[in-house]
């Protein structure tokens, strides 16, 4: 008996045993926590509504998550959790790891939370117009009903998976086109994309053009080419798809009034096209938010007028192995808000490390009336040049030899580059600095007007936007 009392004294004098006992008592109290029936005790939620951006029918959506909190001191019994639409709802829920359209008598302890996962599946229909799919998730506690609206914006789409377009093909603007894996335009075939078309690429998908691509966007109805991830957090995320690759057999490509964004390399162009016509004529378009490069050229000939190139992880234009680049009235703006970059926005070289001897090809460049600006002190590098014309460009650089016929290191004062607005402010240095291009062969077709089809008056603004 004395031995038992002695052991008891040792336990109560030992701090470790006292802490263990306190923890056991606290756990027992938590486990047996009383449930409040107070009608004023309500739930809180991590969001007041769940919005699914554009969902492509037959694909479903990414899953959204909602946290449900009980900030009351006592436990709450959630007597009913359910989709208002019941079994007919397009939505599905998973409550604390259990899939169900409803749940009864879910206990939620004080200052605790549970997680509800929600996804939506939209059945294909024949409708060619967008439609809303709505429901609500209902929670009933102590006679109170709280709801979270669920909204999805869905539409039909053409789905293309590992396809080759062997004949001339037209994509219209009635339904979006969603590309899985790859689509190839065969040699001698032409893919024409009409104004207003929307082209979406799934993760790592790409377009290979062995024939011809003709994007016929207009200033009032441009073409959109981007990732199929439509949630807002992905709207400016680079590297979501691979890009568009023009192979050695591709010819006479035209891209006009088209927005291309969020790929690894937006446009990759291989080899020269014979004759005076460029292999790629890129006009009045936006190419931006690429993980590596907006436009990569490998011994090729490209003409680019009135374009915006913006915010890529390494280069805006990367042209190597020589080639012919005719680049006028473009805005190159490469800021490093969300990434670290140590490469110039524009890089051109005639060097070809795969060749023996001098290892150079002829590099012909005409840069006129452009803005070349960004977050680095040197945004233009040109090496091993054959023919070089640089005139009336605003360039950020430490190379003072470029000062002849150009303007160096004066901020163009874009209206709001952080928000993607690269039009010029009223006090921009780039106003009225452009030389007269009325004698240019492309003047009447492209250079007479800016990217928004405002009449260009000389001396013009530098870059792709004329100040109105």
Model confidence at 352: pLDDT above 90: no
Measured from the Cβ of residue 398, the count of other Cβ atoms closer than 10 Å reads 10
Per-residue pLDDT at 360 exceeds 60? no
How many residues are recorded in the chain? 468
3 domain-assigned: no
- Give the C-alpha separation, 154 to 175, whole Å: 12
Distances in Å between the alpha carbon of 198 and those of 53, 58, 62, 456?
15, 18, 20, 29
Residues 331 and 267 occupy one common structural domain: yes
Mean pLDDT of 37-47: 93
Q: CA angle at residue 37 from 33 to 43, to 5 degrees? A: 85
274: domain CATH number?
2.160.20
CA distance 262 to 427: 32
Q: Same domain for 295 and 162?
A: yes
C-alpha 55/C-alpha 49 separation (Å) is 17
Q: Which of 120, 153, 186 is the last residue of a domain?
A: 153
Q: Choose the final residue of a domain: 104, 125, 153.
A: 153
Q: Which of 153, 172, 193 is the last residue of a domain?
A: 153
Q: Parallel, antiparallel, or unpaired: how do β-strands 112-120 and 64-70 relate?
A: antiparallel
Local confidence band at 88 (pLDDT 50, 70, 90 cut-offs):
confident
Which of 152-156, 295-299, 338-342 has maximum average pLDDT? 295-299
Average pLDDT over residues 379-394: 91
Same domain, 132 and 213: no
Residues 194 and 95 placed together within one structural domain of the fold = no
C-alpha to C-alpha distance for 319 and 315, rounded to whole angstroms: 10
Question: pTM of the predicted model, to two decimals?
Answer: 0.78
CATH code of the domain covering residue 106: 2.60.40.2310
244 and 387 inside one domain: yes
Q: Is residue 416 part of a domain?
A: yes
pLDDT class of 217 with cuts at 50, 70, 90: very high
pLDDT, residue 133, reads 82
As a whole number of angstroms, the longest Cα–Cα distance in the chain is 114
Report pLDDT for 1.
Answer: 47
Assess whether 121 and 171 both reside in one domain.
no
**Predicted pLDDT at 354:** 52
Tokens of 428: 């921009």
Structural domain for 361, as ranges? 158-447
Q: Is residue 33 part of a domain?
A: no
Contact between 440 and 411 under an 8 Å Cβ cutoff? The reply is no
pLDDT at residue 131, rounded to an integer: 62
Q: Which of 271, 155, 173 is nearest to 222 (CA)?
A: 173
pLDDT of residue 28: 46
d(CA 425, CA 429): 9
Closest to 383 in 3D by CA, of 343, 344, 345, 351:
351
pLDDT of residue 20: 53
Q: pLDDT-based confidence at 13, cuts 50/70/90? A: low
* 408 touches 368 (CB < 8 A): no
Residues 145 and 272 both lie in one domain: no
Domain count within the chain = 2
Does 34 reside within a domain? Answer: no
Report which of 240, 225, 231, 241 is spatially closest to residue 176, judged by C-alpha positions.
Answer: 225
The secondary structure of residue 404, as a DSSP letter, is T
Residue 92 in any domain: the answer is yes
Q: Is the pLDDT of residue 345 over 80?
A: yes
Whether 106 and 186 map to the same domain: the answer is no
Kindly state the helix (H) or strand (E) to which residue 17 belongs, with its residue range: helix 15-31
Please check whether residues 339 and 269 belong to one and the same domain: yes
% of the chain with per-residue pLDDT over 70: 88
Same domain, yes or no: 138 and 251: no
Q: Are 139 and 166 part of one and the same domain?
A: no
Q: Does residue 75 sit in the same domain as residue 183?
A: no
Q: 468 in a domain, yes or no? A: no
In a domain, 7, yes or no: no
Residue 109 has pLDDT above 50, yes or no: yes
Average pLDDT over the chain, rounded to an integer: 88
Phi/psi of residue 396, nearest 5 degrees: -95, 115
Residue carrying the six token digits 């749940």: 103
Q: Does 59 map to a domain?
A: yes
* pLDDT at position 5: 46
């Amino acid at each position: 008996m004395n031995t038992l009392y002695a052991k008891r004294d040792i336990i109560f004098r030992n701090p470790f045993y006292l802490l263990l006992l306190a923890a056991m008592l606290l756990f027992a109290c938590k486990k047996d926590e009383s449930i409040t029936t107070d009608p004023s005790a309500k739930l809180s939620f991590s969001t007041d509504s769940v919005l699914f951006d554009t969902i492509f029918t037959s694909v479903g959506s990414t899953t959204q998550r909602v946290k449900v909190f009980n900030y009351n001191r006592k436990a709450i019994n959630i007597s009913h959790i359910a989709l208002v639409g019941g079994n007919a709802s397009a939505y599905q829920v998973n409550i604390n790891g259990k899939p169900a359209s409803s749940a009864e008598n879910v206990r939620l302890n004080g200052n605790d939370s549970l997680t509800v996962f929600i996804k939506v599946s939209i059945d294909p229909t024949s409708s060619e117009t967008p439609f809303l799919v709505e429901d609500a998730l209902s929670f009933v506690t102590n006679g109170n009903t709280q709801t979270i609206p669920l909204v999805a914006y869905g539409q039909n789409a053409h789905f293309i998976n590992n396809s080759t377009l062997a004949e001339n093909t037209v994509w219209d603007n009635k339904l979006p086109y969603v590309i899985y894996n790859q689509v190839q335009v065969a040699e001698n075939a032409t893919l024409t994309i009409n104004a207003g078309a929307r082209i979406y690429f799934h993760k790592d998908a790409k377009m290979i053009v062995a024939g011809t691509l003709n994007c016929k966007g207009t200033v009032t109805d441009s073409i959109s080419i981007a990732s199929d991830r439509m949630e807002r957090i992905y709207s400016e995320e680079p590297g979501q798809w691979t890009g568009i690759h023009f192979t050695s057999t591709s010819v006479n490509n035209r891209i006009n009034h088209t927005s291309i964004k969020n790929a690894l390399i937006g446009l990759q162009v291989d080899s020269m096209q014979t004759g005076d016509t460029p292999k790629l004529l890129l006009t009045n378009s936006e190419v931006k938010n690429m993980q590596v490069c907006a436009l990569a050229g490998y011994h090729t000939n490209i003409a680019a007028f009135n374009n915006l190139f913006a915010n890529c992880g390494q280069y805006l234009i990367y042209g190597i192995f020589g080639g012919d680049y005719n680049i006028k009235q473009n805005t190159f703006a490469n800021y490093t808000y969300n990434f670290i970059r140590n490469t110039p926005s524009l890089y051109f070289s005639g060097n070809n490390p795969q060749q023996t001897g001098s290892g150079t090809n002829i590099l012909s460049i005409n840069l006129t009336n452009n803005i070349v600006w960004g977050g680095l002190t040197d945004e233009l590098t040109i090496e091993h040049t054959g023919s070089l014309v640089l005139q009336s460009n605003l360039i950020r650089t430490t190379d003072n030899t470029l000062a002849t016929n150009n303007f160096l290191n004066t901020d163009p004062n874009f209206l709001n580059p952080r928000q993607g607005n690269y039009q010029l402010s009223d006090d921009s240095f780039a106003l009225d600095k452009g030389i007269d291009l009325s004698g240019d062969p492309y003047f009447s077709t492209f250079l007479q007007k800016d990217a928004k089809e405002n009449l260009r008056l000389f001396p013009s603004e530098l870059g792709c936007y004329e100040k109105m």
